[in-house]
Chain A
Amino acid sequence: MSWPQPAHELEAVELLGAQVHFLPGAAEPLSELAPEGLPAHHARLGARPDCSGVHARRLLDTLDQVALTGRGGAHFPVATKWRTVLHAGPGTVVVANGAEGEPLSRKDAALLELRPHLVLDGLMCAAEALRAQRTVLWLHDDAHRARAAVTRALTERSSHGEGPLEVAFAPTRYLSGESSSVVNALSGRAALPSLARVPAARSGVDGRPTLVQNVETLARVGLLARGAAADTALVTVAARHHSVVAEVPGTATVAAAVSRTIGGRPPYAVLVGGYGGRWVSWREARTVPVQRAGAGVLLPLVPGQCGLRRTADIVDYLAGSGAGQCGPCRFGLPASAELVRELADAHIRPREVRRLERYLAEINGRGACHHPDGAVSVVRSALAVFATDVEAHLRGRCRHEPARHG
């Protein structure tokens, strides 16, 4: 086995290598790609390298060198998290998080369905490097295709002498992929977020050191362990009638990723990072790297659509999908959503916009998880990017929906 060369000599290998289209209601993603079986996976990338013992330290060095960050959305440095787990001592639990909560994201589903072996490689590498006693793949319970692909892949690998792996299922809820939800569920509690007084890396599942790592991040670990570069980015572009998962260069801007993926007339603005992200104007989208886009969800505003109305729909969704455990989610989000709705309907006075801004300041950063913060980010960015529309709506008019407001 050869070991990773310095970053500039790594050969670039793509995770997916093609666009994957998802249509609402369609049973299968539209793609020329079929789920990659073990022979094809080995022919393309070779066998998974050993990541235990001395190899673990080298893998950690590689993770440092390429500065791999978490692709679940938080972009926390992977090597830092792994070292915390290692130092926290024995009994480690390693969890591959495939329950992406972002409603618009499809990239993790595409990876699990089409490249299950690469995800499993990364998971087993992490488990070996961190000397895991328990290794878990966490999936949405309604992710039937991912489940089928993973089950098939595990059967193919069963003769390869890897450690045991559990597949566990999350209730299909917006927040069941949240790291503390995963830890709670695997410890036998409800799959709901909680305030972690100590990071999961030190004390997680059953009080044991726990790594919860997104499946795309682990797929990249699977490439890096082989000495291949893993510096692309997976994005989900949510077009009007369908979603497209695309692999773009890690240096691509948001605007380039949207243009290359769906083409057509440039949108007026893009929601970067999905329902918990922020609006940017198309001009700004030309300078924002996709690596700053959370879990990689890009939602272009359809020409002719009012950004404030789209925002109101999103905040309604967020207000309705919280766990309802904390004051900010139980009271702050619904109250804010109501004011955003009045703003979208152009039935609002300046005093109420100021009240909305006060509510946002009050709820920001005050939940057990970041759910309320996502809503704050979407609304605040909408007030800035759609400032012209806010002015018009305060006068009872909307340039995008003249009929609705006379």
Chain B
Amino acid sequence: MAERLRVDPVACDGVGICAHLAPDLVGVDSWGFPVVAIAALDRDTRRQARSAVAACPRRALFVEDAGPS
């Protein structure tokens, strides 16, 4: 089952730690809020995603099933 990283934009405050911990998955917009890649996670990016999820002080990130890919 493919997985992907997602952000709950209501919980997110634009702290920005995720963009440092998961540079291959998360960029920031003009106001410093995360723009998360929609691509399915692979072995390298899954490690980045997990550390970003764990480090987010707002608990705004989560990994979800992206359905069959």
Contacts and interface: CB of A to CB of B under 8 A. Distances in A.
Interface of A: 193-195, 197, 325-328, 330-332, 335, 358-359, 362-363, 366-368
Number of contact residues on B: which range applies? 10 to 19
A362 B30 contact: yes
A331 B10 contact: no
B8 interface: yes
B23 interface: no
B29 A327 contact: yes
A326 B30 contact: no
Given A197-B62, A197-B64, A327-B14, A368 B9 contact: yes
B12 interface: yes
A332 B31 contact: yes
B30 A368 contact: no
Given A362-B35, A366-B35, A194 B29 contact: no
B37 to A, nearest CB: 13
A363 B29 contact: yes
A367 B8 CA distance: 9
Contacts of B31: 327, 330-332, 335
A323 to B, nearest CB: 8
A193 B10 CA distance: 9
Interface in B1-23: 8-12, 14
15 contacts: A195-B9, A195-B10, A195-B11, A197-B8, A325-B10, A326-B9, A326-B10, A326-B12, A327-B33, A330-B31, A331-B31, A332-B29, A358-B30, A362-B35, A366-B9
Interface in B30-67: 30-33, 35, 62, 64
Nearest to B34: A327
Nearest to B30: A362
7 interchain residue pairs of minimum CB distance: A327-B33, A326-B9, A331-B31, A362-B29, A325-B10, A195-B8, A368-B10
Nearest to A325: B10
Contacts of B12: 326-327
Most buried by A among B14, B30, B32: B30
A363 B31 CA distance: 10
A368 B8 contact: yes
Nearest to A194: B10
Contacts of B35: 362, 366
Contacts of B62: 197
Given A326-B9, A331-B33, 18 more contacts: A195-B8, A195-B9, A197-B64, A325-B9, A327-B9, A327-B12, A327-B33, A328-B29, A331-B30, A332-B30, A335-B30, A335-B31, A358-B30, A362-B29, A366-B29, A366-B33, A366-B35, A368-B8
A325 B8 CA distance: 10
Contacts of B64: 197
Contact of B33 (A197, A328, A335, A359): A328
A358 B49 CA distance: 26
A327 to B, nearest CB: 3
Contacts of B32: 327
Nearest to B31: A331
Contacts of A330: 31
B15 to A, nearest CB: 11
B10 to A, nearest CB: 5
Contacts of A195: 8-11
A195 B61 CA distance: 12
A367 B9 contact: yes
A326 B60 CA distance: 11
Contacts of B11: 195
Contacts of A359: 30
A367 B30 CA distance: 15
Nearest to A363: B29
Contacts of A363: 29
A331 B30 CA distance: 9
Nearest to A359: B30
A330 B31 CA distance: 10
A322 to B, nearest CB: 12
Nearest to A180: B10
Contacts of B33: 327-328, 331, 366
